[in-house]
Amino acid sequence: MKPKVFVTRPLPTPALEVLSSVCNVRSHQEDTSMPTSQLAEDCREAEGILVNSTRVSEEVLLAAPRLRAISNCGIGYDNIDVAVCNRRRIPITNTAGSLEETTADMAFTLLLATARRAIEADRYVREGRWERWQFGLMHGLDVHHKTLGLIGFGGIGQPMARRGRGFSMRILYYARHRTADSVERELGAEYTDLESLLRQSDFTSLHVPLTPDTRHIINGKTINLMKNTAVLVNTARGPVVDEEALVDALSSRKIAGAGLDVFEREPHVHADLARLDNVVLAPHIGSATGETRLRMATLAVRNLIAMLAGERPRNLVNPEIYS
């Protein structure tokens, strides 16, 4: 008998076909986050869940006694109650390896767009406000030869460093663990503490997962360390930044700007952020390209099938369940 699985959002057809050839698949037909009670109801019989930006809470896990695998279609898995999964020895996978370069592209896009006021400039032209060329029109900030500070230096932070190097930037990074010498040398990256990174960086980009340690790592106090010409880029998770403190800093020009793909209460965006012209906003599309979405879905399917076959999957994020 094929194992029963539940999929929380429509998958690209090639990925769904592979999953359906091995599993008995039921799925949520809309590209929306499911309410917890509905997900709990739909997972009653499920042995596996393929979850895509939907909360898998304790309530869902308790309602699914046969559950033995969770495949998260995304690199960050703060949407899953890992502690409960660990107690039940349910393996969880993510899609590390499928989306890092694409997300770094988006982070660099936000960095450039904020520095060079690209969105504001586009609006200015479209709205017919451009009457004459002016020497003093819409000055932005140079990116090349500036200092790029990366908070988090893993799968996305490192490709971001490579992009910075392409713009002749000096690269600083802060992470929980220092990276191997050979990687630092290859990327020309200098390890530093958080405080000196924030003091020295012209552009600070966040590449950490959301954990109790990283929640609000950017707050009123840490923002005060930043230069008043600094730009903050966030493609990680909204709650890594205290949004209220960021809005204050941007409104009072304590820092120069921000490029944000993620927010504290998505899809709600702080009303003041939308009013400020030194901010570039995006609707959490860091990994949203056709190629990468297909790669993510295919990997998530492969991970789920491996777990249901009793194999230890490559993208396992909670290896502690095997100890």
- By C-beta, is 52 or 71 nearer to ligand 8YV? 52
Catalytic annotation present for 89: no
CB of 207 to ligand 8YV, least distance (A): 11
Dihedral-angle region of residue 75 (phi above 0 means left; psi in -120 to 50 means alpha; beta otherwise): alpha
Distance CA 290, CA 34 (A): 23
CB of 94 to ligand 8YV, least distance (A): 7
Catalytic annotation present for 237: yes
Is 298 within 8 Å of 290 (Cβ atoms)? no
Catalytic residue among 237, 293, 295, 302: 237
Distance CA 200, CA 280 (A): 22
Catalytic residue among 45, 58, 59, 266: 266
Catalytic annotation present for 266: yes
Distance CA 288, CA 284 (A): 8
The tokens 């990925």 sit on which residue? 15
CB of 73 to ligand 8YV, least distance (A): 5
Could you tell me where the DSSP H helices lie in the chain?
13-22, 36-42, 58-62, 82-88, 100-115, 118-126, 157-166, 181-187, 194-200, 220-223, 243-251, 271-275, 290-308
CB of 97 to ligand 8YV, least distance (A): 11
- By C-beta, is 107 or 226 nearer to ligand 8YV? 107
Q: Output the residue with the shortest Cβ distance to ligand 8YV.
A: 74
CB of 259 to ligand 8YV, least distance (A): 16
- Name the residue among 239, 236, 77 with its Cα closest to residue 160: 236
- By C-beta, is 189 or 300 nearer to ligand 8YV? 300
Q: Kindly give, in sequence order, each residue whose CB lies less than 8 Å from that of residue 231, ignoring residues fewer than 6 positions away.
A: 111, 114, 115, 141, 202, 203, 204, 255, 256, 257, 258, 259
* Residues forming the site for ligand 8YV (CB under 6 A): 52-53, 73-76, 99, 286-287
- By C-beta, is 74 or 91 nearer to ligand 8YV? 74
What single DSSP character describes residue 249? H
Q: Is the dihedral of CA 317, 318, 319, 322 positive or negative?
A: negative
- By C-beta, is 146 or 237 nearer to ligand 8YV? 237
**Catalytic (active-site) positions:** 237, 266, 284
